[in-house]
Amino acid sequence: MRAAFRYLGRGSWLSRRDPRVLILVPLLLVIGGSQMRDARQLAVLLLLAFGYYLLARIPWRSVRVQWTYLLGVIGVFALFNALITGGRAGTFIDGPTHVLLTIPPVGAELTAEGISLAASQLLRYAAYAAVGFPVAYALAPGDLAIALRRLGIGDRIAVMVELTVRFIPTLAAEFGETVDAQRVRGYDPTARGGGPITRLRRMAPIFVPVTVGSIAGAEDTIDAMDLRGFGVGRRTWSRELRFGGADWLVVGATMAIVGLATFLNLSGQSQHYLLPFLVPA
Amino acid sequence: MNSMNSGQSDGTWSITTRVIVYAAIGAALYAVFNWTTFAIQIPGTQNVSIRPHFGLVTFFGFAFGPVAGFLVGFVGNTVGDQLAWGSAFGSWWWSVANGLAGLIAGLFPVWMASRMTSLSSRAMTAAVAGVIGTVVGFLFIWIELIIQPELGFNTILTGEYIPVIVGNSIAAAIVTPILIYAWEPLREQLGR
């Protein structure tokens, strides 16, 4: 199993930015995007986010599974919400609804308002993903901890996050090896017999060795860090980070979007928008 | 070498080297299993599935403290989201909820130390801690009523909160004690 963040955006304009930019932009966009409800405004936000995404030059073939998963899962959930609420949520909570379809036997109604709400959700999450992908694929390995530290996260937590990312490929490989080793001993990971509890307990031969083995193996890492004085005093970092003009431009533009989103939200100009082509004439 | 020699204190809320490394391992395991979408559907339900790897969050909290539990849940879910669908911060409230579940599970050894006199009582307490941590920790997702106004109360209740606490509570109640039974003898051997 290949589970890792690959540096696919190497050499792109975005990968040459200060690594803090790649973390700040998605964080700020989530703050801005969660204040926007109007699908038209969210469509513009998605366009801008996609422009940012293209600057990372991530090969489509490497991330198409994630995009498909994202749009599929969010789309299904948004549709589920549209059916459960009948479109009576958000700005449409008190108003009349335009029923397009009634689904038997429960009589759930698919309304124009429900689809409009689903569209807002989908646009928002697609924008989040567009600015989120560069964090995994355009951030240079080894820059994550220093970027978090310079954003104000403590030394130890910054190192913890980077350790997590570093451990992923190793633990994924151990997981695969454990499954193979147990298979040789007669374990069948694909067995379907028994109820959910039985199937859950049947996973113990995988979970236990991988988890306990990883924890036991961590002792060397802990000793190595302690021997190097980790956590004793203030940590120094070999790399210096400095914002350039282009970095300020990107962060400034994102903060302007957040400011605009906040203004629109507080002034009541970002209400849910009923897509006109859904309303029966 | 132990953490006392390196000048780091060992209180419940201390962030020692040990806590950092264990939390990183737990978070990485949780992220990997999250990414592989390892789930067992409960028959007769539409969207209630058991995610066995959630037991890792409550196990790490119970075994290594509330700080480790919070970091495993929060960072593990964040990194797992980034791996699965490319957005670490898009569902930040779910990461916080996972973290709170691990944190609450990690408080039980502190509160009930005197009652956990045997391995079986420790494992039983771990199961209870996992369930309570899940039910209370995931209350945080109700923040969606504010930040995701498209979602109705019923959607959050029937589509998110109930399915997740049923599935995760079952995972925590079964997986956490299994891991406790496996870890405790080794912990005594290692002298931790």
Domain coordinates in residue numbering, chain B: 17-190
Distance from CA of A50 to the nearest CA of B (A): 13
Q: How many CB atoms lie within 10 A of CB A165?
A: 24
Distance from CA of A38 to the nearest CA of B (A): 11
pLDDT digits (tens, 9 = 90+) for B84-138: 777 778 889 999 999 999 999 999 998 888 778 888 999 999 999 999 999 999 9
| Measured distance CA(B35)–CA(A46) in Å, rounded | 25
**Tens of pLDDT, residue by residue, chain A (281 residues):** 445 667 878 889 999 999 999 999 999 999 999 999 999 999 999 999 999 999 999 999 888 888 888 888 888 888 888 888 888 888 888 888 888 888 887 788 889 999 999 999 999 999 999 999 998 888 887 899 999 999 999 889 999 999 999 898 888 888 888 888 988 988 876 766 777 777 777 788 888 899 999 998 888 899 999 998 888 878 888 888 899 999 999 999 999 999 999 999 999 999 999 998 888 77
Distance from CA of B101 to the nearest CA of A (A): 19
Q: Which residues 210-229 on chain A approach chain B with CB closer than 8 angstroms?
A: 210-212, 214-216, 218-219, 221-223, 225-227, 229
Q: Which residues of A touch B80 (CB under 8 A)?
A: none
SS3 A101: strand
| Closest by Cα among B3, B24, B11 to B110 | B11
pTM, 2 dp: 0.88
Q: Which residues of B touch A219 (CB under 8 A)?
A: 190
Q: Do B90 and A204 touch (CB under 8 A)?
A: no
Q: Which CATH number fits domain B17-190: 3.30.70.1450, 1.20.1250.20, 1.10.1760.20, 3.20.10.10?
A: 1.10.1760.20
Query: Which residue of chain A comes nearest to B29, CA vs CA?
Result: A171
Decide the pairing of beta strands A99-103 and B40-41.
Answer: unpaired
Q: Which residues of A touch B52 (CB under 8 A)?
A: 200, 203, 207
- The structure tokens listed for A74 are 């969010």
H or E segment and range at residue A111: strand A108-111
pLDDT confidence of residue B63: 94
Q: Is the per-residue pLDDT at B2 higher than 60?
A: no
Evaluate whether A20 touches A147 at the Cβ level (below 8 Å): yes
pLDDT confidence of residue A1: 41
Burial of B93 (0-12, 13-18, 19+ CB in 10 A): middle
Q: What is the greatest pairwise CA distance in chain A?
A: 75
| Residue B118: half-sphere exposure toward Cβ, Cα within 13 Å | 3
